[in-house]
Homo-oligomer: A and B are copies of this chain.
């Protein structure tokens, strides 16, 4: 593919991605995508014969960027693996705030909108969710010795994803961070309670307590 063709294809994917995120898949018209991308309809149909083909390309874009770009932006500067999880959740909070609740989790939005009507895209939605869960489970694994031994860390990572998706959905409806904060604060309380049990085995906590009691 020529550089110009690659650019055109990338511009179409980027424009569709942004419009799907802001307006949803069904509400976005082909003409809006063309206008935003500054591309003519011939080029669109050359690369993407149907709107669903464009949706698949958008989901592939997320799949290829979620770990190294989207998740790392929020977590790379944090060293504690448990705090990486809350830094990631804070990334969604910032997005809600910055775009005044006009944007949520792009994958979550598309998941609810197209799960039934487009079974072909379901597997790509699933790949994106799995990558998210893999990353969070990885952070939990890094901190495994601070959690109870019988903790199902995969299940906890799924619970964290569910909390985020539900929290984002509520925040967008309420147009308020309060409900998102409620959901995440209770998650933090849960994880801290898990860590308290896990941390009876950790030296630093006991050391501090001893210092305090002196």
* A interface secondary structure, majority: helix
Verify B111–A173 contact, CB threshold 8 A: yes
Verify A186–B112 contact, CB threshold 8 A: no
In the bound complex, residues from chain B placing their C-beta under 8 Å from that of A179 are 158, 162
Verify A165–B159 contact, CB threshold 8 A: no
Verify B173–A126 contact, CB threshold 8 A: yes
A154 interface residue per 8 A CB criterion: yes
- Taking A26-B24, A102-B116, A116-B102 as contacts, is the C-beta distance between A182 and B170 under 8 angstroms? no
Verify B108–A112 contact, CB threshold 8 A: yes
Minimum CB distance partner of A158 in chain B: B182
A72 interface residue per 8 A CB criterion: no
In the bound complex, residues from chain B placing their C-beta under 8 Å from that of A186 are 152, 155-156, 158-159, 190
Q: Tell me the A residues contacting B by CB distance below 8 Å.
A: 22-24, 26-27, 101-102, 104, 108-109, 111-113, 115-117, 122, 125-126, 129, 152, 154-156, 158-159, 161-167, 169-170, 172-175, 179, 182-183, 185-187, 189-190, 193-194
Verify A23–B108 contact, CB threshold 8 A: no
Q: Give Cα A101 to B126, complex, Å.
A: 14
In the bound complex, residues from chain B placing their C-beta under 8 Å from that of A170 are 111, 129, 158, 161-162, 165
Q: Give Cα A126 to B178, complex, Å.
A: 13
Distance (whole angstroms) from the CB of A50 to the closest CB of chain B: 16
In the bound complex, residues from chain B placing their C-beta under 8 Å from that of A175 are 122
- Taking A170-B129, A179-B158 as contacts, is the C-beta distance between A112 and B115 under 8 angstroms? no
Verify B172–A111 contact, CB threshold 8 A: yes
Q: Give Cα A163 to B23, complex, Å.
A: 24
Verify B23–A185 contact, CB threshold 8 A: no
Minimum CB distance partner of A102 in chain B: B116
In the bound complex, residues from chain B placing their C-beta under 8 Å from that of A109 are 112
Verify A23–B117 contact, CB threshold 8 A: yes
- Give 12 pairs: A residue, B residue, CB < 8 Å, sorted on A: A22-B116, A101-B115, A108-B169, A109-B112, A111-B170, A129-B170, A158-B170, A161-B170, A162-B162, A162-B163, A163-B183, A165-B169
